[in-house]
Amino acid sequence: MKNHTIVSLIALSLLTAQTTTVERQAASDIVKKIDQLQSKIRPTQTAREMAAKKDRDRDKVLKRVETLWDGQLRDLSDHIGQNPEIGFQEYESVDTLTKVLQNFGFSVTTGQAGLETAFVGEWKSPAKGKGATIGLFAEYDALRGTKEPFHGCQHNGQSPAAFASAVAVAEFMEKRKLPGTIKIFGTPAEEMGPPAKVIMFEAGVFDGTDLIVRSHGTGETTRNKPGFGVCCLNINEVKYIFEGRPAHQRSSWNGRNALTAAVQFYTTVDHLRPTFRPEAVIQGVIPEGGVAPNVVPDRAVVDYYIRYPDEVYLAHIDAMITNAARAAALATGTKVTIDRYGEYRDGITVGSLEELSFAYAEKLNAPEINPEPQRPAGYEETGFVTRKIPGVSVSVYSSSAPGHSYERWLDSMKEVGHTGFLLDAKVMAAILYHYLTDDDFKKTVHMEHKTMAGLFQDYLDALKDAYKDELGDSSK
């Protein structure tokens, strides 16, 4: 009876793993299969046992992480924080980070995937044999601000935390003569499109990597449920570029006003919001709308982030907005070009990795622990990488200030941020340590990820079927 109750509770938890009612209904059979998998591998119990087990080698690795952080990398985090650079312009940050990485014995190649500020740092074990290739994501871009760039998302701490983990694990591998490779992926411009990780993924930069870990500043210590999702919802990044004809404003009838088209379009999108499901999030700005008040604007741009929890209904929203743009152009005698410059899609969340991350956060007394598992979120913001390579994003509390705020930026250079980033580094190192030394855990991670990846297309097909009566042709 007790085991049956536990399984029932797990099933109830997983049935809320997806965000919307349609997702949960469409994915009910798939969620049952995920439930069965989780019941088989027992990720929570296994992770707690792994974290609680006495292990001198692991403890030495975590102690070395702390020494590295206190000795150099905390100051590096503050330096990046004090010298913020926006996406694709992180030249000084990359120069500093790569030099530090080279001093730790990593070879570094910049300009990855044609991106000037993308890099890969690589360390190969001197031990004979192929071994595993483990990766860590390192971000360093700042937010675009009206006053100045600022690290309101605390990306300044991500690279130093990754470095501390990687160096400590590399030293352990060399001492224990473990074969393998560690790669640090310097990924720029997380806060703007087009998404750099997608560009790097499509260029094959991550090929051959067996496991990827990363960290990110956060307002509470959490982990995610197994399933399909992405941190910031599925997103279409789209620019609608209206082109008209200039004229003097006193004889404006001789022109075709692109700004009028853009404003009409922007207003129409606002009027469309009640026709979309309530989970839709549509965020837009008009970054270009003319130059001089006495000249009819012949170019205007509307830039939208169109978000929804699943990519099937997102396509419907996108189609409706596209129709609104074309209608605005037709009504005003202008032309519209649609630039789809970025996509973010669902990824795969692996329970065995999420639970191990959380077990170590608890073991290390991380602050502000939220025991309730969150919605699936892959392990990075684009999702595409997580469909191919298993991994986890470590989330340890680093600020109580709102995300993307000046206050969170300042916290990244205070004790609250320093503590959170250090714990991130320790948790990442613990995960990598177990992956390298525990074959059963490694096999479980890959078996779980492979099973989940096999269910993903079934999930999308089920969503399409669930929406077909509501959306008709627009869901195609």
User: Same domain, yes or no, for 291 and 181?
Assistant: no
Residue 27 lies in a domain: no
User: Same domain, yes or no, for 351 and 291?
Assistant: no
Indicate if the pLDDT at residue 1 is higher than 70: no
- pLDDT at position 25 is 79
Give the other-Cβ count within 10 Å of 66's Cβ.
Answer: 16
Q: Among residues 199, 220, 309, 330, which one has the least CA distance to residue 264?
A: 330
Structure confidence by residue, pLDDT tens digits, 10-50:
333 433 445 678 877 777 889 889 999 999 999 999 999 99
Across 101-118, average pLDDT: 98
User: Same domain, yes or no, for 210 and 356?
Assistant: yes
Indicate if the pLDDT at residue 248 is higher than 80: yes
Residue 381 lies in a domain: yes
User: Same domain, yes or no, for 167 and 209?
Assistant: yes
Structure confidence by residue, pLDDT tens digits, 303-319:
999 999 999 999 999 99
Q: What is the mean pLDDT of the chain?
A: 93
User: Same domain, yes or no, for 281 and 404?
Assistant: no
Q: How confident is the model at residue 473 (pLDDT cuts 50, 70, 90)?
A: low
User: Same domain, yes or no, for 210 and 242?
Assistant: no
Give the other-Cβ count within 10 Å of 2's Cβ.
Answer: 6
- Spell out the alpha helix ranges (H) of 83-132: 91-103
Residue 28 lies in a domain: no
CATH number of the domain that residue 304 is part of: 3.30.70.360
User: Same domain, yes or no, for 263 and 204?
Assistant: no
Cα 309 to Cα 377: distance, rounded to the nearest angstrom: 10
Across 380-402, average pLDDT: 96
- Spell out the alpha helix ranges (H) of 176-304: 196-202, 258-272
Structure confidence by residue, pLDDT tens digits, 75-93:
999 999 999 999 999 999 9
Domain C-terminal end among 300, 325, 344:
344
Residue 296 lies in a domain: yes
- pLDDT at position 272 is 97
Indicate if the pLDDT at residue 3 is higher than 50: no
- pLDDT at position 271 is 97
Across 343-351, average pLDDT: 96
Across 242-264, average pLDDT: 98
- pLDDT at position 19 is 65
Pick 231 or 213 by higher pLDDT.
213
322, 272 in Cβ contact below 8 A?
no
- pLDDT at position 10 is 36
User: Same domain, yes or no, for 167 and 192?
Assistant: yes
Residue 450 lies in a domain: yes
Indicate if the pLDDT at residue 414 is higher than 50: yes
CATH number of the domain that residue 411 is part of: 3.40.630.10
User: Same domain, yes or no, for 216 and 267?
Assistant: no
Q: Which structural domain range is residue 198 located in? A: 41-230+347-455
Cα 291 to Cα 314: distance, rounded to the nearest angstrom: 34
Domain C-terminal end among 313, 344, 375:
344
Percent of the chain with pLDDT over 70: 95
Residue 20 lies in a domain: no
- pLDDT at position 37 is 96
User: Same domain, yes or no, for 199 and 242?
Assistant: no
- pLDDT at position 18 is 57
User: Same domain, yes or no, for 356 and 290?
Assistant: no
- pLDDT at position 16 is 43
User: Same domain, yes or no, for 195 and 238?
Assistant: no
Q: Among residues 198, 132, 197, which one has the least CA distance to residue 445?
A: 132
381, 190 in Cβ contact below 8 A?
yes
What total number of domains does the chain contain?
Answer: 2
